[in-house]
Structure 1
Amino acid sequence: MKEITCKQTRATREQLVFDSDLNDKGTFFGGTTLSLLDENAGLAAFKFTNVKFATANYDHMNFWNPITTQDSIKIVSYVTGANNRAIEVFTKISAIDLKTQASKIAFSSFCTLVTLKQYGDVKFPTLVPESEEERYLVAGYADRLNARKANFSNEKELLGHLTD
């Protein structure tokens, strides 16, 4: 089985923050955050496997610190687990103060992307974590996967009670 490191799946993006990126409270708009998360997580998943996929779920989304026009942002995404057709990608966004270069974690999330059914079960490469952060996140994958499965059945029940 082919091996790939978390670092080899890493997708990184940096950008300035402009007034047009802000919400009415003067901080980075959450919808923009999710759009950037989806793009960057998708690139990490493409580095992991070369089949098409779709975003299925975001979880453990945390807005830790505000981002303003006094910051630039750095978005880092990498694969932290895969099973059957699902790929889990971790993303963190750091806010970097433009004057001091001080960095703080502003946002983190896990994203699940699912390969399209036409590809069936995909033979994913073996994921190899190297850094302490990667080892910690990869080690927790099975627990997060089990929690997602349990939550999914609850969500399907909720969906059955919703009206359009």
Structure 2
Amino acid sequence: MEPLPVSYSKMKQTRLVLPPDTNHLDTIFGGKVLAYIDEIAALTAMKHSNCVVVTASIDSVDFLSSAKVGDALTLEASVTWTGRTSMEVYVKVYADDLLQGKKVTTTESFLTMVAVDAHGTPTAVPNILPETNEEKRLFETAPSRKDHRQNRAALR
């Protein structure tokens, strides 16, 4: 299988934060953001692997700031590393106040997605080719995140 550039499967999604998406402080529910993150991570991993995927883990979620009603919430996702059947996906979320022209990073997350065949059996995925400095940095730091996931799993 030929390695694929990170840019091949990179995805971007924008959503409007509406009142039903928010809590009593008029900021978006964290669970809503998590659902969006899981969705775009799955789409990105499916595009990279050309397979159905399942979420193996949400490895980390850092809520850095909030988004409020009326903000445009933009999610960007890319595959940062691959194993034999798994893919680490990095998702970065921004809130854009389109009326004020202000953009802030609200959330960063790493997820592990696994490609599966029609029977639910894990299946091989192509490696990635990082191109930009950020892609290379995320690729080079992926082994330490994998070690952390494995150590966490060993505690079960």
Corresponding position: 1:62 with 2:66: no
SS in 1 for 2:143: helix
1:28-71 Cα shifts (integer Å, max 9, x gaps): 11111111011100010011102222111112210001100142
1:9 aligns with 2:28: no
Contact 1:51/1:119, CA 8 A, preserved across alignment: no
Equivalent AA in structure 2 for residue 45 of structure 1? A
Deviation of 1:131 (Å): 1.8
The two structures, once aligned, show a CA RMSD in angstroms of 1.6
Partners of 2:52 and 2:77 in 1: CA distance: 18
What is residue 26 of structure 1 aligned with on the other side? 26
Cα distance in structure 2, aligned partners of 1:104 and 1:51: 33
- Could you say what secondary structure the match of 2:59 adopts? strand
Residues 67 and 118 from structure 1, CA distance in 2 versus in 1: closer, same or farther, beyond 3 angstroms?
Answer: closer
What TM-score comes out, normalization by structure 2 length?
Answer: 0.91
Task: Quickly say closer, same or farther: Cα 1:115–1:125, change in 2 above 3 A.
Answer: closer
Whether the 8 Å contact between 2:89 and 2:112 is mirrored in structure 1 is: yes
Q: Which whole-Å CA distance do the structure 2 matches of 1:145 and 1:121 have between them?
A: 19
Deviation at 1:121, TM superposition (A): 4.7
Q: How many equivalent pairs are there? A: 154
Shift, 1:97, TM fit: 1.2
1:102 aligns to what?
102
Distance 1:131 1:28 in 2: 31
Which residue of structure 2 lines up, in the alignment, with residue 92 of structure 1? 92
TM-score where L is the length of structure 1: 0.87
Structure showing greater radius of gyration is: 1
More off after superposition, 96-105 vs 54-63: 96-105
Q: Distance in 2 between matches of 1:129 and 1:120?
A: 24
Distance in 1 between residues matched to 2:120 and 2:61, nearest whole Å: 30
